[in-house]
Structures are given as C-alpha cells and as structure tokens.
C-alpha cells in the first residue's frame, strides 16, 4: 500500500512597516527615490554614526503583537547579526534574537476544513538591507542604500500548518490584520510582505518532524501555493527513492515551477549575535501597552458582524467590502455622509473594483474621497445625471478625485428636464426617421430603441432615457 505523507509548514513572514522614516535614522522610507538619495551616515554605516530607535516602529510591532495574541516583552533588546555582504553597510544587521518584542501568539484561520489556530513563535524588529544592482554593461555591482534601515518585523510561526490552503489562509489573516492596523500595506509583489516557507514531510502518524528546507523568493500567493506543492513532491520523491532530504535554503523559480538549492546547513554562517551596545534596552511600561491597545481598530470579524446588524447588506457585499480596510473605511465614511449603504456598496463593488482591476491597483491606492462619492450618489439619486453620465463622472473621479457637482456643472452634463426642449428633439427624430416610425407602428416594438438612441444622441446623452421613452410613445 502506498505511504501517506503529511506536510508540516512553518512560515517566516517579513513585513515592512509603514513608518515615514527609517528604523534608526530620520531618512525617508518612500519608495522609488533616485539611488542613495534617502540616506545619511547612519543608514550607510559611516564610521562614528549611531542608531536611535524610531518609536513608531515599536508601536507598530506591539500593535501587531497584541492583534496576534502575543505576549509583549516589556524589557527587550536589539542584537547585532554579523555577516558580510555589500547590501549591509555595517556588515551587521540590527535585529533581535535573545529578547524579541513579541512571543507566544496565535491566530485563528479558516479553510474548507474549518477553523484552526496557528501559533506564532515570535515577532521581532529589524532593519532592511540595501539593494544590489548588477551592471551587466560594466560588469560591476552597484549598491543602493535607500532601503537600508527601512523597518521590518519578522513574524515567525510555529510549524502548525499542513497544507498550502492553510498557509494562504494564515497569510491572508496576517495581511488583513496588519492592514487593518495600518502597520503596513503588505504588498507581496512590491516586497512589503515577504514569506519564507519552512517545509518538511513525514509519514502520517509519525511524531517526529522530518528534515525541513526553507524556500525563498515567493512573490505571490499563487507562487507560494505552487512552491509548497513542488517542494512537498520533491521531498516525498526523495524519501520514496530512499534518499534523504538535506536541510538547506532553496530558491523558488516561479517561471520554471521549480526550486534550486542556495546554501546548505553546512555553509550556515555563525552570525555571532550579541546585544547591540549602541542601543539601550527598550523598557515598555504598562501605560504604553495600554495606549497601543486602546488604539487597536475594529478588526474584520467584528466589522462584518456590525455591518450585518447596522446596514441592510447582503453577506456577499460585506465580505468584499471588509476585505480591505481602505474599502471599509471609504464605505463607512460615505454612508456617514448620508448615502444609502447599498448604493455605496454597489459603487464600490462594481465600478471601483472594475477600475482597480483594470488599472492593476490595490484598494490602498484609491484616491477619491467619500465626500465626492456621496455627491455623485446624490446626483444620480436626484436624476440630475443619468446612469451612463454618472459612470463617466465616476471614472473621472476615480482618476483624479474631481468634485462631481462642479465637474457636471462645468462640462454641462446635467440631464435636460426641460420637457419642451426634449419634445422638440423627439419630434425631430420622428420626422427624420420615417422608416423606424413605420416599423414601430407596424408592431415592431424594438424599433423604439433605435429612436431612443437617436434622441439621446441629439441630446448629447444628457436626457433621462425614461422620459425620452415615454415621450416617444406618446407622440407615436
């Protein structure tokens, strides 16, 4: 009989925190500056420079720890992880080993197989490294230290996951929680959330863990799922062939759908961790913890429950809107301005999602304000604009957050409600299209559609189609 294998997975997730400045200096964390423009003596490791901890990093790390049910280490320290690499200007990374800020947490995930708890071993704070760029032309490498010193937290899970599905659910849960906290935008593609997968397999029923490998370079949920499948199969094949799994770090090539070994345990460096003498121990008093706790937002589960109570919305809408904190905030703010919840939901779920998808944007990138969305809804409600004009205005609003009232005014897009003007236009259309008139009178109901279209065209779209329809029927 064929052997049954169980996959055991633990995750190391790096999350870039959404602070304005770096973890140990005042340089900007903004993405995409010219190389080495967001730098100073501290984040380029100049001699004599010293790190000073950014308090916001601490607040975010504690906030994530509290949201994932961790114990907060009230006396924590930073340690130096020593290794030589050009992207690491001091040749040590300031991280935490001995006393990480959070420990022993857990989060609940839900898959088809039901609910489950995933343990969090620890969360620690550390600095990001710079970026190496290889210049093929000159055959040399260049370093950009703009990213050097950008704050990260590393969330290390327990080996509690058993499938790709659970891994994705766990990552989704983390992402949602951290986004709700505003601690990070958690974009896998842009690298503000990075996950390394530790995976081993063992025969079903076996107590001991198998030898694990660590998989790096996973840039999307899909890549993670594929890498897990691939690595599981690779390890099972090895075991079936009577070979051993080697403890090593592997790099996933998503295009090829396979991984290759980067370094084995034998090459593992001795990082010579020790407490960084340039930084004093961080002592967190109860007042600070209470303050951070008080600022914790309403998380998704609570929000969904409240939406069900307060707004008359289908579960489907609630699920989609609350999937993004930005979306939910926009929804609530627009409703607070007096717009009808279902109408707001429709704009968000249909037009907004369509445009986000089309432009490959995330909800975090939405530019229009709730005030403008509320105005647009009220314009449409009062039939001041018809629905196709409303969509056109919305696109403009999505693009550059224009004020819909002003825009409609300036562009003259208001529906013409002047019946005599409309009557004149309809009369002209009837006179100009005798064939259609004959068809309609002959019983071809559809012909009226053409006449409505001609009238709308003559009105440059600014007529209420219902009114046009009614007038046509009357005059015919």
Partner 1 sequence: MSILDKTAAELGAAIKNGEVTVMQAVEASLSRIEESESLYNCYVTVDREGALAKAREIQKKIDQGILTGPLAGVPAAIKDNLCTRGLLTTCSSRILGNFVPAYSAQAVLNLERAGAVILGKTNMDEFAMGSTTETSAFGETKNPWNPGHVPGGSSGGSAAAVAAGECFYALGSDTGGSIRQPASFCGVVGMKPTYGTVSRYGLIAYGSSLDQIGPLCKDVRDCATIMEILASHDPKDSTSIKRDDTDFTGALVEDVKGLRIGIPGDYFGEGLDLEVKEAVLGAAKVLEERGALVEEFDLSLVEYAIPAYYTIAAAEASSNLERFDGIKYGYRTESYRGLHNMYKKSRSEGFGPEVKRRIMLGSFVLSSGYYDAYYLKALRVKALIKKAFDNAFAKYDMILGPVAPTTAPRLGESLSDPIKMYLGDIYTISVNLAGLPGLSVPCGIDSRGLPIGLQLIGDCFQEKKLIRAAYTYEKARGKFAGSMEHAGGRASGGKAGSDAGKEA
User: Rule CB under 8 A: which residues touch partner 1?
Assistant: 41, 44-53, 80, 82, 84, 86, 89-92, 143, 270, 272-274, 277-280
CB closer to partner 1 out of 86 and 466: 86
DSSP letter at 266 equals G
- In Å, what is the CA distance from 247 to each residue of 108, 139, 208? 29, 33, 15
Contact yes or no for 433/451 (Cβ under 8 A): yes
CB closer to partner 1 out of 277 and 338: 277
- Work out how close the CB of 71 gets to partner 1 at its nearest, in angstroms, rounded to a whole number: 24
Calpha distance 55→109 (Å, rounded): 31
Calpha distance 49→90 (Å, rounded): 10
What are the percentages of helix, strand and coil residues in the chain, rounded to 5?
A: 40, 20, 40
Contact yes or no for 141/147 (Cβ under 8 A): no
CB closer to partner 1 out of 89 and 363: 89
- Work out how close the CB of 196 gets to partner 1 at its nearest, in angstroms, rounded to a whole number: 21
Calpha distance 258→249 (Å, rounded): 14
Calpha distance 228→215 (Å, rounded): 9
- Work out how close the CB of 55 gets to partner 1 at its nearest, in angstroms, rounded to a whole number: 12
- Work out how close the CB of 91 gets to partner 1 at its nearest, in angstroms, rounded to a whole number: 4
- Work out how close the CB of 276 gets to partner 1 at its nearest, in angstroms, rounded to a whole number: 8
CB closer to partner 1 out of 25 and 356: 25
CB closer to partner 1 out of 111 and 247: 247
406: left (phi over 0), alpha (psi -120 to 50) or beta: alpha
CB closer to partner 1 out of 49 and 217: 49
Token pair listed for 192: 């503000």
CB closer to partner 1 out of 49 and 369: 49
Calpha distance 222→174 (Å, rounded): 17
- Work out how close the CB of 63 gets to partner 1 at its nearest, in angstroms, rounded to a whole number: 23
- Work out how close the CB of 61 gets to partner 1 at its nearest, in angstroms, rounded to a whole number: 17
Compute, in degrees rounded to 10, the torsion defined by CA atoms 213, 216, 196, 222.
-110
15: Cα separation from own chain's centroid: 12
- Work out how close the CB of 284 gets to partner 1 at its nearest, in angstroms, rounded to a whole number: 16
291: left (phi over 0), alpha (psi -120 to 50) or beta: alpha
Listed residue (27, 108, 103) closest to 72, CA to CA: 103
For residue 254, how many other CB atoms are within 10 A of its CB?
Answer: 17
CB closer to partner 1 out of 51 and 370: 51
């Amino acid at each position: 009989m064929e052997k049954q294998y169980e996959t055991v997975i633990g995750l190391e997730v790096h999350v870039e925190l959404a602070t304005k400045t770096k973890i140990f200096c005042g340089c900007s964390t903004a993405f995409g500056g010219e190389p080495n423009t967001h730098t100073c003596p501290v984040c380029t490791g100049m001699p004599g420079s010293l790190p000073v901890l950014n308090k916001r990093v601490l607040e975010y790390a504690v906030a994530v720890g509290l949201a994932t049910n961790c114990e907060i280490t009230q006396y924590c320290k930073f340690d130096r992880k020593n290794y030589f690499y050009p992207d690491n200007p001091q040749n040590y990374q300031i991280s935490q080993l001995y006393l990480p800020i959070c420990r022993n947490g857990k989060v609940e995930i839900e898959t088809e197989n039901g609910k489950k708890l995933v343990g969090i071993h620890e969360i620690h704070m550390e600095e990001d490294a710079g970026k190496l760029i290889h210049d093929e032309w000159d055959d040399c490498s260049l370093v950009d230290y703009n990213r050097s010193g950008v704050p990260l937290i590393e969330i290390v899970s327990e080996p509690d996951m058993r499938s790709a599905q659970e891994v994705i659910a766990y990552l989704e849960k983390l992402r949602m929680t951290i986004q709700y906290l505003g601690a990070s935008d958690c974009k896998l593609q842009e690298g503000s959330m990075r996950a390394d997968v530790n995976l081993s397999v063992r025969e079903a029923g076996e107590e001991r863990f198998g030898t694990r490998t660590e998989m790096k370079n996973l840039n999307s949920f899909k890549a993670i799922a594929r890498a897990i499948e691939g690595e599981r199969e690779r390890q099972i094949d090895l075991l079936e062939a009577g070979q051993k799994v080697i403890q090593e770090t592997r790099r996933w090539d998503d295009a090829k759908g396979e991984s290759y070994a980067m370094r084995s345990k034998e090459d593992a460096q001795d990082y010579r961790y020790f407490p960084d003498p340039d930084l004093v121990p961080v002592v967190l008093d109860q007042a600070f913890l209470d303050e951070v706790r008080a600022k914790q937002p309403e998380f998704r589960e609570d929000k969904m429950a409240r939406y069900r109570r307060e707004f008359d919305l289908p579960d489907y809408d609630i699920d989609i809107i609350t999937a993004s904190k930005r979306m939910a905030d926009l929804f609530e703010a627009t409703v607070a301005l007096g717009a009808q919840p279902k109408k707001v939901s429709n704009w968000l779920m249909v037009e907004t999602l369509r445009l986000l998808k089309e432009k490959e944007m995330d909800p975090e990138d939405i530019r229009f304000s709730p005030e403008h969305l509320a105005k647009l809804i009220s314009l449409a409600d009062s039939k001041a604009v018809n629905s196709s004009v409303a969509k056109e205005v919305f696109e403009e609003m999505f693009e550059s957050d224009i004020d819909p009232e002003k825009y409609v005014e300036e562009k003259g897009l208001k529906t013409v409600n002047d019946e005599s003007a409309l009557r004149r236009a309809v009369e002209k259309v009837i006179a100009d299209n005798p064939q259609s008139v004959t068809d309609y009178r002959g019983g071809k109901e559809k012909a009226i559609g053409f006449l409505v279209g001609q009238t709308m065209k003559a009105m440059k779209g600014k007529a209420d189609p219902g009114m046009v329809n009614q007038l046509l029927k009357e005059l015919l």
